[in-house]
Amino acid sequence: MNKIKFARDRTPNYIVMYSLYLYFLGLSIRNTFKALIRFRDEKRSHVSVWNWIQRFGSCQNYKRKRVPAFVIDETLIHIGNPGYWLWFCIEPINSSVLGIYFSAGRNIPVAEKFIRSLVSKYGKHTVYPDGGTWHVVAYNILA
């Protein structure tokens, strides 16, 4: 088990981890600092909390989102004389956008390229299309 080392070990690790936990739950820096008063740690200020956030905030524990499925749709957008297709993919639970892609055509190779970019980011998942057969065919080509 790796132990996190601080420069001078002036603050116990559990206080730093608890303050980061509170901040990433949504508390402000000052409210996180006020929660540390419970530990009778008057030596620290909100600046200390800010420094810990700057140090550990860029650490990523998860490299990708958890995605249960891909919901893929495309729509025609008229830009000038020709039309272009806007492809997009959302995940069904939180309705967050996973990918957007523009193309001049709507066919299996374009769908395959779009789905391949999604699979490389999020892994293989079930595809729920809007009724077009090219999504499923393109996904099966990748499988």
Q: Coil, helix or strand for 90? A: strand
CA distance 59 to 131: 40
Whether residues 33 and 78 fall in one domain: no
Whether residues 75 and 131 fall in one domain: yes
Whether residues 41 and 98 fall in one domain: no
The confidence score (pLDDT) of residue 64 equals 47
Whether residues 75 and 115 fall in one domain: yes
Whether residues 73 and 138 fall in one domain: yes
Q: Count of alpha carbons within 13 Å of 122, Cβ hemisphere only?
A: 20
Angle, alpha carbons 107-77-80 (nearest 5°):
110
Query: What confidence category does residue 109 fall into, taking pLDDT thresholds of 50, 70 and 90?
Result: confident
CATH number for the domain that contains residue 78:
3.30.420.10
Q: Which domain holds residue 99?
A: 69-142
Q: CB-based contacts of 10: which residues, under 8 Å, 6+ apart?
A: 43
Number of other CB atoms surrounding residue 28 within 10 Å:
12
The confidence score (pLDDT) of residue 63 equals 46
Whether residues 34 and 91 fall in one domain: no
The model's pLDDT over 64-95, given as tens digits with 9 standing for 90+, comes to 457 888 888 888 888 777 788 888 888 888 77
1 domain residue, yes or no = no
Model confidence at 104: pLDDT above 60 = yes
Q: CB-based contacts of 31: which residues, under 8 Å, 6+ apart?
A: 22
115 domain residue, yes or no = yes
φ/ψ of 91, rounded to 5, equals -100, 140
